[in-house]
């Protein structure tokens, strides 16, 4: 009945899809975020004991591995990437989880849910499973379908309670089984079902079935995997090779690894009329099954070039360890829709690794990646596979090693005493990471506090040079915190900046920071309050990346304003005016000219890259089309391209291999900051016309487009964004 329902459902699905337009969806790959766990106040119980649970799409899910404490036998098959769950009354329900009160908004996102290639089976039936925090989870609703005696949702108490059946369910797909172990129309009757049993490796496992009927015969079967199709089939057993009683009510099996992990066992009982009944399926449970991880490896942050140590502690019998590293994998089979994915691969001692087959891994930390753009620190991700003497394998949680660079201050700030009406300046120089971030602080009420950006007395609070202007005497202590994307912050020496000024009878209207797009005009101006200007002599100055103030030629001695063209020589620079007014010296506060990104030619937001199909690499540099300060680049095409993936080999189309002369189309993409390079090594394919007419016997030559377009999303240091499109056109060599 179940098979017929599945066939009907499948046929209906095909009919529905037949009327839809053809759409190709890229299959999710391992590690893709497919949903999010939501914060919930629901508490889940199994037989009255609370169990850790999650909320996904409004449904409650639990961790598969934790079911072993709630009356289930859970086995992990590492080579097959599958988890099997069987309900056994012999497994005690002990629980061990204490619910924690939810303090977050109900329904808000808690953590991502990842796609996983691990397949989970409940009594041999596949159910949906996902990865949360490195653990496999399944829905409680699926557990209830198989094992529920009672399944109750209490909306007032906000509890979900599952009470398990007292006995394991029968195999509903066994053919003649009705769920009661008896034949509905007469025939053999099973009076006592066989039971799963525990056995040490090398001992014998025994299964026994009791049945009534006339002239009964018995045939024990084992579920075994087909070596070619990988399908599981029931196979008749015969005596010999560690098996005895294969055609009797009592079966004995030598408990070696093959017998333990080959599959389940059942007995088919037949009477003289040829009527049959099939027993429940049972399994050999290794004595002291399972591995328990006591201590998981922990994430670490280490300086590039140093050594990090990852440690895992587990309990089990004759444990063996194998550390793996997450690496990029390039897929040349386009049929899956996945061109690049990540997978864990075994690592061996030597080079930067030691202890790869122990519970303690020592690994040299790679340098963080730098490509002239803001990038996160280099990461190395590891898991440890732990296997016991029975071949059971489980994986530790992943541990990430984040590398960072060491920042060194090459020039410390110095004490400053200012005695004239001009801003005081303190400078710092540092190196070791890119880009470096600066944050000036001052001592306020006994605590170090960031210098406020909106305070007109200060300028350059997040640059190498801090300017402070006062119209009266006073002093403060300052310091600078220097940080970077791949480094730990470093704090400079403390310095004192003091003002000892004569009384002033006027104030200056200070110039303000100006922000505009490249190739437009910028303006700075200043003025005086509380004074009649009888005489004024001044000069405007510019300070560039070298930190030196330089006079700007061409400005008049009484100009209180200056007009500038925004380009690479002015954007990012600071401007001020210095001179004398009525015989008194003065210097204005510095103001910065901030040029935001812009297309170099108005409206030119795209370009076409012509690609020869001879393997030649063709580069295009977005800097030729976009101008701005501190630009970062994010490339996106048919799949995500990021600067850390410097070399990608992808198959775009698989052409007909039955025709001589056809080859896969291969594209190579190299990305380095603003530059992208494309080439193809493919020959032009050829196909015959399906309906020969006047051109019968001719071939139509063509070349397949690989990428049709790429996008580069550009961001400047001020957060302004724009998108540039690169169209690809493939031509003959």
516 pLDDT higher than 90: yes
pLDDT band at 230 (very low <50, low <70, confident <90, very high): low
Q: Distance between the two ends of the chain, CA-based, in angstroms?
A: 61
Structure tokens at 284: 């050999």
Superfamily of domain 408-593: Immunoglobulins (2.60.40.10)
Our measurement of the distance from residue 473's CA atom to the centroid of its chain's CA atoms, rounded to an integer in Å, reads 55
Token readout for 119 is 């397949």
**What's the token pair of residue 565?**
């063209």
Beta strand 313-315 pairing with 292-295: antiparallel
Is residue 635 a contact partner of residue 714, using CB atoms and an 8 Å limit? no
pLDDT class of 341 with cuts at 50, 70, 90: low
What Rg do the C-alpha atoms of the chain give, in angstroms? 37
Domain 189-286 has CATH 2.60.120.10: no
**Dihedral angle of Cα 196, 198, 202, 208, to the nearest 10 degrees:** -40
Of 46-60, 299-313, 468-482, 701-715, the least confident:
701-715
Locate the domains of the chain by residue range: 31-164, 189-286, 298-404, 408-593, 599-731
List C-alpha distances in Å: 99 to 40, 42, 70, 102: 12, 10, 16, 9
Check whether 618 has a pLDDT greater than 50.
Answer: yes
681: tokens are: 């090594």
pLDDT digits (tens, 9 = 90+) for 187-201: 788 888 898 887 777
Q: Do the Cβ atoms of 51 and 93 come closer than 8 Å?
A: no
What is the CATH architecture assignment of 298-404?
Answer: Sandwich (2.60)
Higher pLDDT pick, 33 / 662: 33
- What residues are paired with 586 via a beta bridge? 579
Map residue 13 onto helix, strand or coil.
Answer: helix
pTM as predicted: 0.43
Check residue 27 and give its pLDDT: 61
Residue 30 and residue 136 in contact, taking contact as beta carbons nearer than 8 Å: no
Distance CA(16)–CA(24), nearest Å, equals 16
Per-residue tokens: 632: 């970062």
For range 322-328, the mean pLDDT:
88
Task: Tell me how far apart the alpha carbons of residues 279 and 221 are, in angstroms, rounded to a whole number.
Answer: 10
What pLDDT does 661 receive?
A: 39
Tens-digit pLDDT profile for residues 396-444 = 989 998 887 788 999 999 999 988 888 999 999 998 877 889 999 999 8
pLDDT at 65: 86
- Given a contact cutoff of 8 angstroms between Cβ atoms, the answer to whether 193 and 114 are in contact is no
pLDDT value of residue 62: 93
Once rounded to an integer, what is the mean pLDDT over residues 484-501?
A: 88
**pLDDT for 137:** 92
The string of pLDDT tens digits covering residues 98-144 is 888 877 888 888 888 888 888 999 888 899 998 887 788 999 999 99
**Strand ranges for 388-494 from DSSP E:** 393-395, 399-404, 408-411, 416-418, 424-427, 429-431, 437-444, 447-450, 458-459, 465-468, 474-483, 490-491
CB 267 within 8 A of CB 194: yes
pLDDT, tens digit, for every residue of 662-693?
344 455 667 777 888 877 654 433 333 333 33
CATH of domain 599-731: 2.60.40
- Average confidence score pLDDT of the chain: 78
Q: What is the mean pLDDT of residues 546-554?
A: 87
Predicted confidence band of residue 329 (pLDDT cuts 50, 70, 90): low
> pLDDT of 353-384, one tens digit each?
999 999 999 999 887 654 333 333 346 899 99
Element (H, E) at 538: strand 536-543
Q: What integer pLDDT is reported at residue 428 of this predicted model?
A: 94
Residues in the chain: 733
Residues with Cβ within 8 Å of 546's Cβ and at least 6 positions away in sequence, in order, are none
Higher pLDDT, 696 or 316: 316
Local confidence band at 531 (pLDDT 50, 70, 90 cut-offs): confident
**What mean pLDDT comes out for the span 559-570?**
92
Say what the pLDDT of residue 438 is: 95
Q: Dihedral sign for Cα 409, 411, 414, 420, please.
A: negative
Q: Report DSSP state, residue 336.
A: G
Q: What is the DSSP letter of 105?
A: P
Give the whole-angstrom CA distance, residue 204 versus residue 198.
9
DSSP string computed for 506-519:
-EEE----EEEETT
| CA separation for the pair 190, 207 (Å, rounded) | 14
Cis ω for the linkage preceding 435 (within 30 of 0): yes
Residue 515 has a pLDDT of: 93
Longest dimension (CA), the chain: 129
Q: Do domains 189-286 and 599-731 have the same CATH topology?
A: yes
């Amino acid at each position: 009945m179940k098979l017929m329902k599945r066939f009907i459902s499948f046929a209906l699905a095909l009919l529905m899809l037949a009327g839809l337009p053809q759409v190709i969806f890229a299959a999710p790959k391992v590690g893709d975020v497919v949903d999010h766990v939501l914060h919930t106040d629901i508490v889940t119980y199994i037989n009255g004991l609370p169990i850790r649970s999650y909320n996904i799409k409004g449904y409650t899910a639990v961790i598969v591995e934790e079911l072993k404490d709630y009356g289930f036998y859970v086995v992990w098959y590492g080579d097959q990437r599958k988890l099997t769950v069987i309900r056994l009354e012999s497994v005690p329900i002990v629980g061990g989880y204490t619910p924690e009160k939810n303090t977050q908004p109900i329904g808000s996102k808690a953590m991502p849910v990842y796609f996983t290639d691990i397949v989970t089976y409940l009594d041999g039936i596949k159910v949906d499973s996902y990865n949360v925090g490195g653990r496999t989870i399944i829905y409680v609703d699926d557990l209830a379908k198989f094992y529920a005696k009672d399944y109750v949702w209490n909306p007032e108490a906000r509890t979900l309670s599952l009470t398990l059946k007292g006995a394991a369910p029968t195999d509903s797909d066994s053919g003649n089984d009705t769920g009661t172990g008896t034949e509905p129309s007469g025939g053999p009757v099973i009076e006592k079902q066989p039971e799963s049993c525990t056995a040490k490796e090398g001992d014998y496992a025994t299964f026994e079935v009791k049945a009534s009927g006339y002239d009964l015969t018995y045939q024990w079967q084992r579920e075994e995997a087909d070596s070619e199709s990988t399908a599981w089939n029931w196979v008749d057993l015969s005596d010999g090779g560690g098996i005895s009683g294969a055609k009797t009510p009592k079966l004995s099996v030598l408990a070696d690894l093959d017998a333990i992990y080959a599959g389940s066992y059942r007995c088919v009982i037949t009477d003289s009329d040829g009527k049959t009944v099939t027993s429940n399926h049972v399994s050999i449970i290794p004595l002291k099954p399972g591995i328990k991880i006591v201590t998981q490896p922990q994430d670490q942050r280490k300086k590039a070039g140093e050594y990090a140590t990852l440690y895992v502690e587990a309990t089990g019998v004759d444990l063996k360890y194998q550390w793996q590293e997450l690496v990029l994998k390039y897929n040349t089979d386009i049929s899956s829709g996945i061109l690049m994915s990540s997978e864990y691969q075994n690592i061996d001692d030597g080079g930067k690794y030691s202890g790869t087959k122990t519970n303690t891994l020592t690994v040299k930390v790679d340098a963080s990646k730098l490509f002239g753009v803001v990038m996160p620190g280099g990461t190395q991700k590891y898991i440890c596979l732990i296997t016991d003497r029975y071949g059971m394998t489980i994986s530790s949680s992943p541990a990430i090693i984040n590398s960072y660079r060491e920042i060194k201050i090459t020039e410390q700030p110095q004490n400053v005493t200012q005695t004239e009406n001009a801003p005081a300046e303190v400078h710092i120089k540092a190196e070791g990471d890119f880009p470096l971030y600066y944050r000036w602080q001052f001592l306020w009420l006994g605590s170090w506090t960031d210098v406020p950006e909106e305070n007109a007395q200060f300028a350059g609070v997040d640059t190498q040079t801090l300017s402070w202007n006062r119209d009266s005497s006073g002093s403060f202590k300052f310091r600078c915190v220097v940080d970077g994307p791949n480094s730990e912050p470093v704090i400079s020496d403390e310095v004192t900046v003091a003002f000892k000024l004569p009384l002033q009878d006027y104030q200056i209207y200070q110039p303000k920071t100006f922000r505009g797009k490249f190739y437009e005009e910028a303006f700075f101006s200043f003025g005086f309050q509380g004074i009649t200007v009888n005489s004024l002599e001044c000069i405007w100055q510019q300070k560039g990346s070298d930190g030196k103030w330089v006079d700007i030629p061409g400005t008049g001695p009484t100009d209180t304003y200056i007009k500038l063209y925004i380009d690479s020589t002015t954007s990012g620079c600071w401007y001020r005016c210095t001179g004398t007014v009525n015989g008194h010296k003065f210097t204005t506060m510095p103001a910065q000219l901030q040029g935001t990104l812009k297309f170099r030619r108005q409206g030119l937001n795209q370009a076409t890259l012509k690609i020869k199909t001879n393997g030649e690499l063709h580069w295009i540099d977005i800097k030729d089309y976009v101008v701005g300060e501190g630009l970062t680049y994010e490339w996106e095409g048919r799949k995500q391209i990021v600067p850390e993936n410097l070399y990608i080999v992808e198959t775009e189309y698989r052409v007909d291999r039955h025709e001589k002369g056809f080859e896969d189309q291969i594209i190579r993409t190299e990305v380095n900051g603003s530059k992208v390079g494309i080439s193809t090594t493919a020959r032009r394919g050829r196909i015959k016309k399906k309906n020969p007419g006047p051109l019968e016997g001719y071939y139509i030559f063509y070349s397949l487009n690989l990428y049709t377009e790429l996008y580069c999303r550009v961001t400047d240091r001020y957060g302004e964004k724009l998108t540039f499109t690169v169209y690809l056109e493939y031509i003959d060599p």
